[in-house]
Amino acid sequence: MKKYFLILGITLLTACSGRNDKSDAYGNFEADETIISSEVSGKILSLNLEEGQEIKEGTVIGIVDTTDYLLKKEQLTAQKNAIASRSGNIASQIEVQYQQKNNLLVDKARLEKLYKEGAATKKQLDDINGAISMVDKQILSIQSQNSSVADELLAIMKQIDQIDLNIKKCHLTSPVSGTVLNKYIQTNELVMPAKPLYKIADLNYVFLRAYISESQLAEITIGQKVQVLIDLGKDNMKTFEGTVSWISSSAEFTPKIIQTKEERVNLVYAIKVKVKNDGALKIGMPGEVNFRRK
């Protein structure tokens, strides 16, 4: 009897130590990838970027030739100075007209006094009032010209601001932090707006995209903590804590990455499990997930 219990104990211990139990779901790791494109056109003068390189948000990774933009800015600056000169001339003309009006007003006051004393005629007063009215109209006409010139000047300044913005965009900076996955451009190549430069992803957190059956849907919820495992070889598994971040709302056929044809014809639901990466998890690596700790 003692020998029987000893054999039974050894059998149970062996069964518990092995990985005879299957995980609840299987899949592959992926990351949120971002393709960074050029916002300007020109020749790449320098590009400090390599695949696998980690870069921080705001890091300058390259420079696009700014010669064309600088020449355009010089041309617009010359136009702006010419328009500003015209505006100065118009302002001077307005000052002259105001001075003429002031002189006419002094003459009018003198004539009104003489008219009361009988030393001036009504026609003389009418003539000077007409001259004052004419000066007022000239002032309005010149001011309308000044308004048009001001609009031209504003339009030129907006174009210069746009050129300055493009020159700033020629200094290629990374909009996000992460690891460079692919590099699509080399130094001395030409780029155009919307042309991809490189692909980047934040690998501090990765996602295990796995597939579950309809019967398993009731076992998981978004935000649920689960157990994620990867194979280290020789039946050794490394365990991570994950969080269910997404559950598909529609069923699909099992992806072709599943090996057997019988399993591929089943309808399954895709899920994503967010996992903090310690460096061991790679994009495309297979993984397993358990909804309950085992």
Residue 5 lies in a domain: no
In a domain, 239, yes or no: yes
- Which residue, 287, 279, 294, 289, is CA-closest to 224? 289
Return the pLDDT at 151: 86
Residue 11 lies in a domain: no
Same domain (yes/no): 27, 43: no
Task: Give the pLDDT score at 172.
Answer: 96
Do both 138 and 75 map to the same domain?
A: yes
Residue 118 Rama label (left phi>0; alpha psi -120 to 50; beta):
left
At 114 the pLDDT is: 84
What is the DSSP track for 203-259? Answer: TTEEEEEEEE-GGGGGG--TT-EEEEEEEEETTEEEEEEEEEEEE-SS-EEPPTTSS
Query: Mean pLDDT by 10-residue block, N- to C-terminus, for the chain (294 residues)?
Result: 34 38 87 95 95 95 95 94 81 83 87 83 86 85 77 92 96 95 96 95 95 89 95 86 94 63 68 95 94 68
How many residues are recorded in the chain? 294
- Considering the domain architecture, whether residues 142 and 225 belong to the same structural domain is answered as no
CB 288 within 8 A of CB 25: yes
Domain end call among 114, 145, 168: 168
Query: Does residue 268 belong to any structural domain of this protein?
Result: yes
pLDDT at 246 (0 to 100): 95
Q: Do 24 and 219 form a contact (C-beta atoms < 8 A)?
A: yes
Together in a domain, 74 and 164? yes
Q: Which helix (H) or strand (E) holds 173?
A: strand 171-173
Report the CATH number at residue 44. Answer: 2.40.50.100
**Are 96 and 146 members of one domain?**
yes
CB neighbour list of residue 72: distance below 8 Å, 6 or more residues apart: 163
The packing angle between helices 122-169 and 67-116, to 10°, is 170
Domain total in the chain: 3
Which residues, 6+ apart, have CB-to-CB distance to 9 below 8 Å? none
- Residue from 61, 63, 40 nearest 51 by CA: 61
* Residues 282 and 29: beta-carbon distance below 8 Å: yes
Q: Is residue 13 domain-resident?
A: no
- The pLDDT of residue 146: 75
Q: Domain range spanning residue 273?
A: 21-32+202-290
